[in-house]
Chain A
Amino acid sequence: MDRNSNVYTFIYASGMVILVAAILSLAAINLKPFQDKNIEIEKKQNILSSVNIAADATNAEEIYAEKIVNSYIVNSKGEKLEGNAFTVDLKKERAKASDQQQLPVFECQIDGDIKYIVPLRGAGLWGPIWGYLALNSDMSTIYGASFDHQGETPGLGAEISTQVFQSQFKGKEIYDNGELVSITVAKSNETAPEIHKVDAISGGTITSKGLQNMISDDLSLYNAFFNQKK
């Protein structure tokens, strides 16, 4: 057959596309369980890291099962809802009106004390940022925080996922005289009471401000729940 004829070209292109599609879907279907598992383990590692427990991929599940004693979903009025807190997709929830959202809460037991962990999700400079904030049982003092991002600039915005940055949050308070003030991620020229403030990242202003907005927006959703628990 003439290799330059239209018929040959069409048949060749169609055949190739069908073959490639078949191979790729086969690979995707077969590898999906492994990939989902990795994502689940990573999520558990992130949750644990907010209560300052370092877990690697091999022991995260075990530690998670031991430490996270309870998890549930609440709504913005603080009422408990049915469902599995671990599988709530925050990306979808944040797109809903605030009184429709499912808000996951994880309870972690540390030295006989319960820490409340809430997930956060917001926008950085290049893409989404997310994290977990752990509160002491007074519902105001931060016990720990972990943040991660999709594609912030390495060395600048991406610093939010470092230990140095996250450890600043420990001991800060999100309530001031019963009013939710959240945490200010401050540049050097901004003033805020030391107890409600952490230092922003030099050169990562937009990510820092995105992080600040993420914390204050998401905590305000939980306000009713926190007040109930106090």
Chain B
Amino acid sequence: MSDKEPLFSKKNLKLLSDPLDSSNPITVQVLGICSALAVTAQLKPSVVMSLSVMAVLAFANVIISLLRNTIPNRIRIIVQLVVIAALVILVDQVLKAFVYDVSKQLSVFVGLIITNCIIMGRLEAFALGNKPWPSFLDGIGNAAGYGAILVIVGFFRELFGSGTLWGFRIIPESWYIENGGFYANNGMMILPPMALITVGAIIWVQRSRNRKLIED
């Protein structure tokens, strides 16, 4: 890669767009499933989780990429872990200080960003072998691909599980059986298994649309 390559060359844009579809970290690589199931009962935590992962992944990618020529090969995994852990603790502390209610909802999952397979995966597979700018784009792209799935799952789970979106009521109170209507929330939507089924449905739709993903 020459230094004169434009910031948003075709190749770089591909780093951003690929993870959204044909190499999506959740639906194609099946990484980061644990947090995708855990935080998506509502839309708001899904979005916050995605943004936190994006911040951590983009910066971790850049830092590892800057250090890539100095990191001793034998301890490279540990170096990656230290960088991720430090960034995650920073994100957690900032959330606790400024958006306390959100940090309470995310509780342990913020800590679980450390073990999010996507982050380690991108550092090892991409940042160690590429320059900072493409690594940054790769981080943003992969976190966006991860976030897109979280938001879709969170959207359906909150809508059908609680009848609200972002805490605002969408399905009118008068529809509910308690109030003389015909509707009841689907309690199953709140529980993790339904998140897995929703992710499965997304994978199904994606594979039927994207021929490249169909295995022989």
- Chain A residues in the interface with B (C-beta under 8 A): 3-4, 8-9, 12-13, 16-17, 20, 23-24, 27-28, 31, 34-35, 38-39, 41-42, 57, 150-151, 154-155
Contact = CB atoms under 8 A, between A and B. Distances in A.
A38 B190 contact: no
B89 A13 contact: no
A91 to B, nearest CB: 17
Interface of B: 41, 70-75, 78-79, 82-83, 86, 89-90, 93-94, 96-98, 100-101, 107-108, 161, 187, 190-191
Contact of A12 (B71, B94, B161, B187): B71
A24 B72 contact: no
Given A13-B79, A28-B93, A39-B100, 17 more contacts: A3-B71, A4-B73, A9-B72, A12-B70, A12-B75, A27-B90, A31-B93, A31-B94, A34-B98, A35-B97, A38-B96, A42-B100, A57-B101, A151-B108, A154-B41, A155-B41, A155-B187
A34 B187 CA distance: 36
B79 A16 contact: yes
A39 B101 CA distance: 10
Given A151-B107, A155-B187, A9 B74 contact: yes
A-B pairs with lowest CB-CB distance, top 6: A34-B97, A38-B100, A155-B190, A31-B97, A9-B72, A20-B86
A23 B86 contact: yes
A8 B93 contact: no
Q: Which of A9, A31, A41, A151 has the most CB atoms of chain B within a 10 A radius of its CB?
A: A31
Instruction: Tell me the dominant secondary structure on chain B's binding face.
Output: helix
A31 B78 CA distance: 27
Contacts of B191: 154-155
Contacts of B71: 3, 12
Nearest to B90: A27
A57 B100 contact: yes
A13 B74 CA distance: 11
A28 B82 CA distance: 17
Contact of B82 (A9, A16, A41, A150): A16
5 contacts: A13-B79, A34-B96, A41-B100, A57-B100, A154-B190
